[in-house]
Amino acid sequence: MSKTVGKVQVGQLQYTIVEEDNGENVYDDDEEGARVGLCCFFDEKIIIHKRLSKARKRRALAHELCHAHLEATASIRESWDVEDVCGVMEAFAEPIMKAVDRIYPLGKAAE
């Protein structure tokens, strides 16, 4: 079962941010390791593992939003090198962190 925790605009797309427990999308006990976040481009959804601490949820959401921004920007590039990716992340660092702060704010309730 998923719980919607917010929405984030990325380019022309609006991603729904949800939390889920272990399952097909996110897991922490699979033989192949763990997946604590997932960016579903076609569904415009980002899934975060619900049992993470708030600090880990913030990192996972920031990471998945990087995927979303790279996907939104991918249509203008044929190929990417490290400097290209870093340039995109630099350009979107502030809106990514504003979204993270809005959905998982820092403060007394931080786990």
Average pLDDT over residues 74-80: 74
Pairing of strands 37-40, 33-35: unpaired
Mean pLDDT of the chain, nearest integer: 90
Contact by Cβ (8 Å): 40, 15: no
Average pLDDT over residues 45-53: 97
- Quote the crossing angle between the two packed helices 82-103 and 54-74, to the nearest 10°: 130
Report percent pLDDT > 90 for the chain: 70
Question: Quick one: pLDDT at residue 80?
Answer: 79
SS3 95: helix
Pairing of strands 45-49, 33-35: unpaired
| pTM given for the model | 0.88
For residues 85 and 16, the model is more confident at 16
Given a cut of 50, whether residue 108 has pLDDT beyond it is: yes
